[in-house]
């Protein structure tokens, strides 16, 4: 398959252009000649030296990641940037990135994957960012204790050496949950306004502790990496059906 065709299909599915003015990440094809042929695609959460080397060792022609190399532009290709870009070029390995478009996808996205794990029903978009959304909210099939919510995520997510942390300031039984993966506590006020019992995210800022306590809402911090494996895994399954070889690269950080 031509790289151009594969990129166009991903961009269409993920609505990449709709997030162009909302995301610091340069989503879409970040490295690679569009006329290249792609027979093997690797997938990983992070576009870093370890995953780039693993994709090259696997013989991939394209690496698809959630976190890429360009956040607001690249001024110099030196140091860490050189260390990541050089092996891409050396091994003729293209790089495709989908950050917020993959967070916001209501079927393939990261929040959708976490919502699947929790078995949420009556789902709606959550996490407004301009005209788009980067999360989901829904209702538990039956009320659960905060500890049960944490234990479900700890059992199902690849947290590496990390723990699922719980800020247990909400009701004794959780019925409604908002999910915004990665670093999602900036949407805590929106979760409060939506009257949900709990916000599930990856990592939190220090101020989230007192904000959650004062708002009497539970916050679950399940790890940035662990909550953001779902989108690239879903893309792996999607592209696997397009007639190319695929590889998934797992590098949990515990963070």
Q: Judge whether 67 is annotated as a binding position.
A: yes
Q: What is the DSSP letter of 55?
A: H
Backbone angles phi, psi at 193, to 5 degrees: -65, -30
Which letter, b or e, does each residue of 31-58 get, where b requires 16 or more Cβ atoms within 10 Å of its Cβ?
bbeeeeebeebbbbbbbbeebbebbbeb
Q: Judge whether 210 is annotated as a binding position.
A: no
CA distance 17 to 4: 15
CA distance 42 to 19: 24
Paired tokens of 146: 């905060």
Helix axes 49-57, 79-90, angle to 10 degrees: 10
Q: Judge whether 66 is annotated as a binding position.
A: yes
Q: Judge whether 224 is annotated as a binding position.
A: yes
104 contacts: CB under 8 Å, gap ≥ 6: 19, 111, 125, 127, 129, 132, 133, 134, 135
CA distance 252 to 254: 6
Residues of each annotated binding site: 66-67, 103, 224, 228
Residues of each annotated binding site for a divalent metal cation: 66-67, 103, 224, 228
């Amino acid at each position: 398959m031509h790289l151009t065709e594969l990129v166009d299909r991903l961009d269409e599915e993920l609505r990449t252009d709709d997030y162009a003015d909302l995301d610091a990440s340069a989503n879409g094809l970040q490295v690679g000649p569009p006329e290249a042929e792609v027979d093997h695609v690797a997938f990983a959460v992070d576009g870093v030296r370890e995953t780039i080397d693993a994709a090259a060792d696997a013989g991939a022609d394209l690496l698809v990641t959630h976190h890429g190399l360009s956040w607001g532009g690249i001024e110099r290709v030196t140091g860490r940037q050189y260390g990541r870009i050089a092996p891409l070029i050396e091994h003729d390995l293209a790089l495709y990135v989908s950050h917020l478009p993959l967070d916001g996808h209501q079927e393939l996205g990261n929040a959708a994957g976490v919502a699947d794990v929790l078995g949420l029903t009556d789902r709606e978009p959550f996490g407004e960012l301009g005209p788009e959304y980067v999360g989901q909210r829904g209702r538990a099939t039956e009320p659960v204790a905060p500890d049960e919510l944490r234990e479900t995520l700890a059992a199902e997510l690849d947290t590496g050496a990390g723990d699922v942390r719980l800020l247990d300031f909400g009701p004794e039984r959780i019925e409604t949950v908002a999910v915004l993966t990665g670093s999602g506590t900036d949407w805590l006020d929106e979760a409060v306004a939506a009257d949900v019992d709990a916000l599930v995210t990856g990592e939190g800022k220090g101020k989230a502790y007192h904000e959650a306590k004062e708002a009497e809402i539970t916050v679950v911090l399940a790890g940035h990496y662990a909550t953001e494996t779902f989108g690239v895994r879903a893309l792996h399954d999607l592209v696997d059906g397009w007639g190319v070889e695929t590889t998934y690269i797992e590098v949990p950080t515990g963070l």
